[in-house]
């Protein structure tokens, strides 16, 4: 339990203190140290869960099993990298006089609070509190999206806030139905909302109410996860937020919304005898299909990456929907791979954006020449996210495709393959055009900042190494997470 308290306490304290520290240099180092402690606490808690038993505590308030531990590890990992990256990014913004030092400290406050809300979602046992946590992630991150006080940023933040809140109101309705089904069986007891309890009695719940509950939760949290056709806020928010925030939004916030869906899915799938997966396959394929035209005709680099996130959330959902040992293994491996590759890409996009002062892809050329490190990594990361071997995303996508054929979802697997190929072509075309060619002459040929270069190495290592072979600890973890969704209790 100690690790959980450290995990929740550190980001809160870090954010509040970083906000009060007037010396810019000290503030930056302090928030980085805070992020590092959060990282250690998160990994320690995850290790404890994965090698031992799930952590329970706080009067049945907290419950962390393999799925929770997996989500926590991703949040602290991407969170730490983004905190590291933020130092260079924000320094550059201050030097360019886009923001003041005071605004920068406020940024660190919101940033760490944002990490706190996502971690809170992953450790609670009560679905009601899970809902409260997910709503809080929207509220805090909406302020981060509106960080640049420009018109477009405000527009994106407002759209995000309103769509997120309405979507999540639907999810609350779903959770009310879950409570109804649970309390019918267990009596009016707060435990009727605990996913750990509900998943044990799932077979005896009323299937009609559970179906309604699952659909509302799927649509509600699905809005937050960026399922098409509820994804409209996503490209706006992700493209307008500061780049380190975009990385966290794409890399782990979407996973956190998926975490909420999967918790309810694990219950519903048992109650409905395995029929709930079809809805996930539907939303997964739809999300992938809708992104194709938007990626093919995109002008804005960060929007293109945002649409790619919609696609990959679709792939993860499809994998879980296909199910089985192979499908679930592929889906959660893909979750890890996407978090790493996409956060790396958003950091790179931040560097490019700061160098070229533009996100428009037709105004960017010769990145490799202007910023050798960023440019070459940009090529690697794009090939990775598009699913080219020998990078990590290829392995998980291939696994999901195999699972699709194996489980007899022939048409789903074929469609999946077709969509991936189309998106691959679109993304690689634009990125190769940006990476090569002549860099504008008056551009200073230098990386942005050593901090923002150093941060790139962590996700890059994951992208490259996990493409060559999946380390045993990772495949073990992913395997344990799959077991949670298959209803294996330890």
Partner 1 sequence: MDQAIAFSLLISTWMLFQIRRIGDSVGILAFQSTILAFSAGAMWYKTGISHLLIAAVLTLLVKALLIPFILQYTIKKIDIKREVERFTSKYISLLLALALSAAGFYLASRLELPGKEHGQPYLAVSIILIFLGTLIMIDHKKAIMQGVGLITIENGLFLIAQSLSYGMPLIVELGIFFDMLVTVIVIGILSFRIHSTFESLNTEKMQNLKG
- Provide the minimum distance between the beta carbon of 86 and partner 1 in the complex, in angstroms, as a whole number: 22
Provide the 3-class DSSP secondary structure of residue 189.
coil
Q: Is there binding between residue 58 and partner 1 (CB under 8 A)?
A: no
Q: Is there binding between residue 187 and partner 1 (CB under 8 A)?
A: no
- Provide the minimum distance between the beta carbon of 287 and partner 1 in the complex, in angstroms, as a whole number: 17
Residue from the set 24, 103, 183, 486 that interacts with partner 1 by CB under 8 A: 183
- Provide the minimum distance between the beta carbon of 407 and partner 1 in the complex, in angstroms, as a whole number: 35
Q: Write each residue from 190 to 219 as x if it is in contact with partner 1 (CB under 8 A), else as -, in one continuous string.
A: x-xx--------------------------
**422: number of Cβ within 10 Å:** 17
- Provide the minimum distance between the beta carbon of 135 and partner 1 in the complex, in angstroms, as a whole number: 5
Residues whose CB is less than 8 angstroms from the CB of residue 265 and which lie 6 or more positions away in sequence, other chains included: 214, 218, 276, 280, 320, 485
Characterize the bridge pairing of strands 62-64 and 55-57: antiparallel
Cβ-based nearer residue to partner 1, 124 or 412: 124
Binding-site size, partner 1 (CB under 8 A): 48
CA distance linking residue 99 with residue 312, whole number of Å: 33
- Provide the minimum distance between the beta carbon of 168 and partner 1 in the complex, in angstroms, as a whole number: 9
Q: Which residues in 42-67 are b (16+ Cβ under 10 Å) and which e?
A: bbbbbebbbeeebbeeeeeebbbbbb
Subset of 28-57 contacting partner 1 (CB under 8 A):
none
- Provide the minimum distance between the beta carbon of 399 and partner 1 in the complex, in angstroms, as a whole number: 32
Q: Give the residue ranges of DSSP H helices in 187-300.
A: 195-200, 207-225, 233-240, 243-248, 254-271, 277-296
Cβ-based nearer residue to partner 1, 131 or 259: 131
Cβ-based nearer residue to partner 1, 40 or 154: 154
- Name the segment binding partner 1 (CB under 8 A); options: 22-30, 83-91, 136-144, 466-474: 136-144
Cβ-based nearer residue to partner 1, 166 or 461: 166
- Provide the minimum distance between the beta carbon of 77 and partner 1 in the complex, in angstroms, as a whole number: 27
- Name the segment binding partner 1 (CB under 8 A); options: 70-78, 132-140, 413-421, 462-470: 132-140
Residue from the set 38, 126, 337, 480 that interacts with partner 1 by CB under 8 A: 126
- Provide the minimum distance between the beta carbon of 409 and partner 1 in the complex, in angstroms, as a whole number: 32
Subset of 225-284 contacting partner 1 (CB under 8 A):
235-236, 239-240
Cβ-based nearer residue to partner 1, 64 or 156: 156
DSSP state of 300: B
Residue with tokens 């500061």: 242
Q: Write each residue from 150 to 179 as x if it is in contact with partner 1 (CB under 8 A), else as -, in one continuous string.
A: xxx-xxxxxx-xx--xx--x--xx--xx-x
Q: Cis link prior to 390 (omega < 30° from 0)?
A: yes
Burial of 95 (0-12, 13-18, 19+ CB in 10 A): exposed
CA distance linking residue 331 with residue 77, whole number of Å: 19
CA distance linking residue 245 with residue 239, whole number of Å: 10
Residue from the set 60, 128, 207, 487 that interacts with partner 1 by CB under 8 A: 128
Q: Are 113 and 122 in contact (CB under 8 A)?
A: no
Residue from the set 99, 136, 407, 454 that interacts with partner 1 by CB under 8 A: 136
Q: Are 381 and 463 in contact (CB under 8 A)?
A: yes
> Residue 301: which of 249, 248, 347 has the closest Cα?
347
Cβ-based nearer residue to partner 1, 176 or 286: 176
Residue from the set 142, 213, 234, 435 that interacts with partner 1 by CB under 8 A: 142
Residue 120: CA count within 13 A, CB half-sphere: 20
Q: Is there binding between residue 143 and partner 1 (CB under 8 A)?
A: yes
Q: Is there binding between residue 92 and partner 1 (CB under 8 A)?
A: no
**149: number of Cβ within 10 Å:** 9
Q: Is there binding between residue 286 and partner 1 (CB under 8 A)?
A: no
Q: Write each residue from 288 to 307 as x if it is in contact with partner 1 (CB under 8 A), else as -, in one continuous string.
A: ------x--xxxx--x----
Residue from the set 52, 188, 273, 444 that interacts with partner 1 by CB under 8 A: 188
DSSP state of 194: B
The DSSP code sequence of 20-88 is H---HHHHHHHHHHHHHHHHHHHHHHHHHHHHS--EEETTTTEEE-HHHHHHHHHHHHHHHHHHHHHHH
* Interface ranges with partner 1 (CB under 8 A): 126, 128-129, 131-132, 135-136, 139, 142-143, 146, 149-152, 154-159, 161-162, 165-166, 169, 172-173, 176-177, 179-180, 183, 188-190, 192-193, 235-236, 239-240, 294, 297-300, 303
């Amino acid at each position: 339990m100690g690790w959980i308290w450290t995990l929740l306490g550190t980001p809160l304290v870090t954010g509040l203190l970083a906000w009060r520290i007037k010396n810019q240099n000290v503030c930056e180092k302090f928030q980085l140290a805070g992020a590092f402690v959060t990282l250690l606490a998160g990994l320690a808690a995850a290790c404890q869960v994965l090698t031992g038993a799930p952590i329970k505590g706080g009067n049945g308030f907290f419950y962390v099993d393999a799925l929770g531990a997996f989500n926590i590890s991703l949040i602290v990992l991407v969170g730490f990298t983004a905190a590291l990256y933020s130092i260079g990014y924000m320094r550059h913004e201050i030097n360019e006089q886009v923001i003041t030092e005071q605004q920068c400290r406020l940024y660190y406050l919101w940033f760490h609070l944002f990490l706190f809300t996502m971690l809170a979602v992953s450790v609670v046992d009560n679905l009601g509190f899970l809902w409260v946590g997910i709503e809080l992630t929207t509220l805090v991150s909406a302020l981060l999206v509106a960080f640049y006080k420009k018109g477009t940023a405000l527009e994106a933040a407002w759209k995000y806030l309103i769509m997120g809140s309405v979507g999540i109101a639907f999810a609350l309705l779903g959770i009310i139905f879950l409570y109804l089904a649970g309390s019918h069986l267990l009596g009016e007891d707060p435990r009727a909302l605990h996913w750990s309890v509900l998943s044990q009695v799932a077979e005896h719940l009323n299937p009609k109410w559970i179906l309604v509950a699952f659909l509302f939760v799927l649509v509600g949290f699905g809005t937050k996860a960026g399922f098409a056709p509820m994804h409209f806020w996503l490209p706006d928010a992700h493209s307008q937020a500061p780049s380190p925030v975009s990385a966290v939004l794409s890399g782990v916030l979407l996973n956190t919304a998926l975490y909420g869906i999967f918790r309810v899915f694990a219950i519903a799938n048992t109650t409905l005898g395995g029929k709930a997966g079809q809805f996930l396959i539907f939303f997964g394929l739809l999300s992938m299909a809708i992104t194709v035209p938007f990626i093919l005709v995109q002008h804005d680099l960060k929007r293109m990456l945002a649409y790619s996130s919609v696609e990959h959330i679709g792939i993860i959902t499809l994998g879980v929907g296909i199910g089985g040992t192979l499908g679930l293994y592929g889906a959660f491996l893909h979750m890890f791979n996407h978090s790493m590759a996409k956060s790396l890409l958003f950091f790179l996009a931040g560097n490019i954006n700061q160098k070229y002062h533009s996100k428009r892809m037709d105004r960017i050329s010769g990145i490799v020449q202007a910023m050798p490190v960023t440019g070459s990594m940009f090529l690697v990361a794009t090939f990775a996210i598009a699913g080219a071997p020998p990078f990590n995303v290829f392995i998980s996508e291939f696994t999901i495709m195999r699972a699709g054929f194996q489980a007899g979802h022939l048409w789903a697997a074929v469609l999946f393959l077709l969509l991936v190929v189309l998106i691959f072509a679109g993304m690689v075309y634009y990125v190769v055009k940006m990476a090569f060619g002549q860099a504008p002459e008056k551009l200073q040929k230098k990386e942005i900042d050593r901090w923002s270069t150093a941060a790139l190495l962590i996700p890059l290592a994951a992208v490259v190494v996990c493409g060559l072979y999946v380390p045993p600890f990772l495949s073990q973890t992913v395997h344990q997470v799959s077991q949670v969704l298959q209803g294996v209790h330890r």
